[in-house]
Amino acid sequence: MENRSIGVFDSGVGGLTVMKQLLQTLPEEHFIYFGDTARIPYGGKSRETIIRYSIENAIFLVEQNIKMLVVACNTATAHALEKLQKIFNIPIIGVIEPNIEKAVRTTKNQHIAVLGTQGTIRSEVYQQNIKKFLPNATIFPIACPLFVHLVEEKFVHHPATLLIIQEYLRPLRHHPIDTVLLGCTHYPLLKQLIMKELGKHVSVIDSAPTCAEKVAELLNQLNLKRAYPNTQNHQYFVSDDPKKFQIIGEELLGEPIENVSLLISYQNISL
Ligand code: DGL
């Protein structure tokens, strides 16, 4: 039994879609969330840079004495998960594997679209891993770089957002896809609009519920569950603009975020 916290990171507020599910699934645990808001977006950055940022984020969280790390960012999972698992001596879970498992269970006709950042689509991690389960699947990967900005800028209900969604999803109109994977933790905030655009016959999947189930399973397996239910506030850290994070974050989680601390020292970590 283990009373240490669970660390979670993303490039910004997107990882809170995973955090929300973690809070619901594991109400007895204590979480420390880091949003790298100074360096968002990760999606257009090189593999090397994404790996470096991910290692720096993990170092900060490991220094907080966490017992497990959740990489709540598809871009970081795609490029850096294996590296993080090699470097750090704690269990580390990403968001891609749970997402793929869910899609594989859901699709009937094996025509699957994957929406993600440029970095995630370029890595081909989704494409390759779906094929491991479904070698005959037809996969339509689409990079949607503007989605992250729409979410971070609170443009979810702006009319321009629907137009941008229609533009990105246009190529899917001519294909018989039955499943769409949201391969970015920011995208669940656009899920209703995406579902409306695609129609009822298409299942839209995001990684948060399956990722939270995985974390719960692993805590059980490794005997890392808390002995006593957590009574402290969860902790939030960002690398820029705590107020902006707090406003969007509270709306997204549907609960007050008591403290968002600004982290300024971690960028000086030399590796
Ligand atoms: N939320 C991150 C993901 O899941 C990406 C956002 C970004 O481009 O920084 O990929």
Joined tokens for residue 117? 């950042």
pLDDT grade for 266, boundaries at 50, 70 and 90: low
Question: What's the mean per-residue pLDDT of the chain?
Answer: 95
pTM equals: 0.95
**Token representation of residue 198:** 């695609």
Q: What is the pLDDT of residues 181-212, one digit of tens each?
A: 999 999 999 999 999 999 999 999 999 999 99
- Which atom, in ligand 1's list, is nearest to the CA of 15? 1
Residue 171, preceding peptide bond in cis (omega within 30° of 0): no
Alpha-carbon span 51 to 84, nearest angstrom: 8
Tens-place pLDDT, residues 128-150: 999 999 999 999 999 999 999 99
Residue nearest to atom 2 of ligand 1 (CA): 73
Which of the four pLDDT bands, split at 50, 70 and 90, describes residue 264? confident
Residue 167: its pLDDT value, please?
Answer: 97
Strand-pair category, 92-94 with 111-116: unpaired
Q: Catalytic: 211?
A: no
Measured in angstroms, how far is the CA atom of residue 10 from the centroid of ligand 1? 7
Adjacency order of strands within the sheet including 138-143: 138-143, 111-116, 179-183, 203-205
**231 CA to centre of ligand 1 in angstroms:** 30
Q: How confident is the model at residue 270 (pLDDT cuts 50, 70, 90)?
A: low
The closest of 84, 25, 51, 77 to 183, measured between CA atoms, is 77
Give the whole-angstrom CA distance, residue 187 versus residue 14.
8
Q: Per the residue annotation, which of 73, 130, 189, 248 is the catalytic one?
A: 73
Do residues 127 and 134 lie in contact, with contact meaning Cβ atoms separated by under 8 Å? no
Q: In what order do the strands lie in the sheet with 260-262?
A: 92-94, 68-71, 6-10, 31-35, 235-238, 260-262
Index of the ligand 1 atom closest to the CA of residue 41? 9
Report residue 4 as tokens.
Answer: 């240490």
pLDDT at 265 (0 to 100): 65
Question: Residue holding tokens 């005997």?
Answer: 223
